[in-house]
Structure 1
Amino acid sequence: MSENVTVERTNNYLRQVKGSVLYKGAAVAASFLVIPIMISYLGVVQFGVWSTLLTIMSWVVFFDLGVGNGLRNKVAESLAKDQPDEARSYISSAYSLIGLIAIGLWVGFFFISYSVSWQSVFNTAVLAEEDLRYAVQVAASFVLVNFWVGLIIALLGAVQKSALISLGQLFTNAFALLVTYLLYYFTAGSIGKLAWMYGAGLLGGNLLLTSWFYRKYKYLVPSLSFQREHLTPLLSVGIRFFIIQLAVLVVFTTDKILITQLFGPEHVTEYEVIFKLFSVITFLHTLISSPLWSAYTDAFHRKDNAWIVKMLGNQLKLYAVVIVGIVCLIFLTRFVVGIWIGHDFTVSLSLVVFVAMFVAVTTWNNIFAIMLNGAGAVNVQLYTALVAMILNIPLALLMVKIFGMGVEGIVLAATLSLLFSAVLLPLQVFRLTRAESPDVSMA
């Protein structure tokens, strides 16, 4: 193992963290500033509908069959082995496949959208059926185009340029803040108008990143063609990521649907505000941990276990700081929300505590999941994610229907469903890093 390679990997990781702190910090600030404006613009009920709509739209990314994550690993692996032509072939196959899937989803959705009662989906009669359908169709169109363009996120991760991903998020969030402010002052509340502006910002950020990437990495510019010998490995790796993503979808994004159906969309707003506040912890941790994914891939295929273990040790030290931050935020939540949203906006202390527990468990799991993702050793994640997916909704219904809990019962159910991962992922990482010649196929 070349000492220069190890040093450069570490230095690049530190550069990406510094860049991410700058860009992501500004992006988070913009996302916080836009929330009270959106609530004022749409009202509590419509904001709950909008928040739930965005959650549903986020499901689209899971239809890529895990190709995005598979692409990230395969491109990083090819570049680590100094095989740029191989990397380009993987990119070409991924763009071709995702493009066809996006077109198919768009056609299918527009036919189905006219047979769905969107008022029933969002459990509200505040908005007319036609207005809801229009907003959903606009949001879906932008999201499906971005589904294809958004492969740039995987590629930036593969070349260890994760700071630029945060730059794209900054563009999107700053654009959303500006447009929402203008809509609030010059138009009446409209989810349809917000869907247009949100979609334009989301797509615009990824188009700018795509332009930069292919100007810098001209040798990776894809051709729109399938290459079976590269598509098969992408799907082989990707399908396991897909199943994990599907399970994560159930655990992380069905909460708003459950709250909407069990309590009404107005309860989503309190949930969203608290989660948004605690997302500061998640964002800050992600700034430091996400650049490690492809760095772990590079180190793993160069058999640099010592570097991997060193980085994991640093991540565990960071986790202690995360726990202190979570505890402090529990006591500060009502004060911060009073300044941020308004003193007439009340939050439940019990919901704050349960959200804090959820963030603590997910952050812990993320430390080990990133290393396993980088190594491509995802079988244990696959099994524990499936268990979480199976348990989450039944546990939520148990907490609400049998034990009589409120919204906090739904959050507790999600936390409990993740405990298997909290135990088994660290054990898998320990086994993998202690092996002299790690066998990914057995992992």
Structure 2
Amino acid sequence: MNKLFSPIYQYFKKHLIKGNARTVLAKKNIVGSIFIKGGSIAVSLVMVPLTIDYINPTRYGIWLALSSIVGWFSFFNVGMTHGLRNKFAEARTRGDNEAARMYISTTYAVLTIVFSAVWLVFLFVNPFLDWVNILNASSEMRMELSILAIIVFTYFCLQFVLKIIHTLVTADQQPAKASLINFVGQIISLLVIVVLVKTTDGSLINLGLALCVAPVAVLIIANIYFFGTSYKDLKPSISHVNFSQSKNLFSLGLVFFVIQIASLVQYQTSNIIIAQSFGPYQVTTYNVVYKYFNVLGMGFGIFLTPFWSASTDAFFKNDIGWIKKATKKYLQIGLLFVLAGVVMLFISDTVYKYWLKGQVDIDFTLSIWGLVFFSSFMFASIFVNFLNGISALKIQFWASLISPVIFVASAYLLIDYYGMGVHALFISSLIASFNGIIIAPLQYYFIIYKKKKGIWIR
């Protein structure tokens, strides 16, 4: 057995250590992420039919719609974690641990204050919210939905603070470790749901607890572990909180904030629009297709994740050759994923049948548009990640101001005027993604090949 696998091991070992330090680190994280995120993808796919079987397709659609609405409150993050990611990476590149610790401590302090306040306000407002009408659900679910909203909202507030450790590990060009944190939380949630299926009747409240408590517990342990070992010298402390310096995070974070709002409108409102226009059941069909083809996005993300922080390091050191070479490789990898997506499309009906045990009917047109959307998403993400890494955000900022309007307007136009089905949401997403699909590649070209500055580099 050793003789069989030894040549394979030696081959990978040789190629993993080939290239400069930045490339080697990226390769190691990609290999680690393949196994971790591969497992994460498998768990997420298993979770869908298991969850639908536990609470039924309509209630699953209600769960997704409620999660999307609560996800809106993430805008109180004000993009600070993205600002921290770039500032932390820059500080580490300079070897300035004091600045890095200040950014970390300040981010923890600000987000703790903000989300504590938001959580208290929500507890006060929640009794006055009519979740039955908001989610187009049955009136008998009123109390259940109110309790579920508190569970989900509490989870969102906690994880936005605790996930700072995820941002730090990723910014330190170790995305495989960040993925491991998420994966462990998923595994525990899956095991809890398996137990629920075997021992209880379908309950949205039980589902909410299963999917929310485990990830938060894992994040708490991750914070304790990393700040007790790898980042012991960067451990957040009150003495390192500097609100006057937080403007460096806010100035960059504010731009990311606007960009995040655009993403929230485009991705989170989809479930709300579908629930209102077609009912909760169709929220499930849309999300099944989204999760199916998102396997491509998640798989491609395994390779692409190191590119953001590596771009920060390479651009800061003026290593333009490395950026060109890396971008070309990512385009080639993306093409392979698109070809894999075509295969996924042709076998999609069979996969849905066995995956979902015939509980959900999926229109083939919806699958076609799912593939088109994720193919475009992978292409755009290459250039957007590079621009995010070098903080060239001005054009993306202005595009983000109008893309939400374009998304919502085109969605309702396609549904109400042209009578399109659920696939209209994928088409609207493509239209609203004009920055990533068209402008970002042009911006990359002008910065890297034409050495342009001005608006292109801001």
Map 1:205-216; keep pairs closer than 5 Å. 205-214=218-227, 215-216=229-230
Q: Which residue pairs with 1:323 in the alignment?
A: 338
SS at structure 2 position matched to 1:407 = coil
Q: Residue 134 of structure 1: which of 133, 140, 147 is its match?
A: 147
Q: Which residue pairs with 2:76 in the alignment?
A: 63
Q: Which runs of 5+ in 2 are unaligned?
A: 1-16
1:438: how far off?
5.6
Map 1:26-425; keep pairs closer than 5 Å. 26-125=39-138, 127-214=140-227, 215-224=229-238, 226-343=241-358, 345-425=360-440
Structure 1 residues 439 and 164, CA gap change in structure 2 (3 angstroms): farther
Structure 1 residues 435 and 219, CA gap change in structure 2 (3 angstroms): farther
* Residue-pair matches, total: 440
Structure 1 residues 325 and 200, CA gap change in structure 2 (3 angstroms): same
Moved more, 362-371 or 212-221: 212-221
1:409: how far off?
1.4
Q: Distance in 2 between matches of 1:420 and 1:434?
A: 19
Moved more, 203-212 or 384-393: 203-212
Q: Does 1:427 align with 2:442?
A: yes
Q: Distance in 1 between matches of 2:113 and 2:449?
A: 42
1:212: how far off?
2.8
Q: Distance in 1 between matches of 2:26 and 2:435?
A: 30
Contact persistence 1:375–1:440 (CA under 8 A) = no
Structure 1 residues 240 and 26, CA gap change in structure 2 (3 angstroms): same
SS at structure 1 position matched to 2:423 = helix
Q: Which residue pairs with 2:9 in the alignment?
A: none
Structure 1 residues 217 and 264, CA gap change in structure 2 (3 angstroms): same
1:442: how far off?
4.5
Q: Distance in 1 between matches of 2:295 and 2:436?
A: 23
Q: Distance in 2 between matches of 1:210 and 1:440?
A: 38
- CA distances 1:236-294 after superposition (whole Å, capped 9, x unpaired): 00000000000011111111100001111011111111111101100001000011111
Moved more, 182-191 or 223-232: 223-232
* Amino acid paired to 2:80: V
Q: Distance in 1 between matches of 2:313 and 2:140?
A: 51
Contact persistence 1:23–1:163 (CA under 8 A) = yes
1:62: how far off?
2.6
1:213: how far off?
1.9
Q: TM-score, normalised by structure 2?
A: 0.92
Q: Distance in 2 between matches of 1:126 and 1:341?
A: 28
* Amino acid paired to 1:316: L
Structure 1 residues 235 and 344, CA gap change in structure 2 (3 angstroms): closer
* Amino acid paired to 2:216: L
RMSD across aligned positions (CA): 1.8
Moved more, 68-77 or 210-219: 210-219
Contact persistence 1:77–1:298 (CA under 8 A) = yes
1:363: how far off?
1.3
1:194: how far off?
1.3
1:35: how far off?
1.0
* Amino acid paired to 1:295: A
1:432: how far off?
1.5
* Amino acid paired to 1:397: Y
* Amino acid paired to 1:244: I
Contact persistence 1:275–1:355 (CA under 8 A) = yes
Q: TM-score, normalised by structure 1?
A: 0.96
Structure 1 residues 297 and 438, CA gap change in structure 2 (3 angstroms): farther
1:343: how far off?
3.6
Q: Which runs of 5+ in 1 are unaligned?
A: none
- CA distances 1:56-102 after superposition (whole Å, capped 9, x unpaired): 23333332101000000000000101111111111111111000011
1:209: how far off?
2.3
Structure 1 residues 336 and 103, CA gap change in structure 2 (3 angstroms): same
SS at structure 2 position matched to 1:114 = helix
Structure 1 residues 5 and 327, CA gap change in structure 2 (3 angstroms): closer
- CA distances 1:130-187 after superposition (whole Å, capped 9, x unpaired): 1100011011112211111111111111111100121112112111211111111111
SS at structure 1 position matched to 2:361 = coil
1:385: how far off?
2.4
Q: Distance in 1 between matches of 2:454 and 2:169?
A: 27
SS at structure 2 position matched to 1:216 = coil
Structure 1 residues 141 and 231, CA gap change in structure 2 (3 angstroms): same
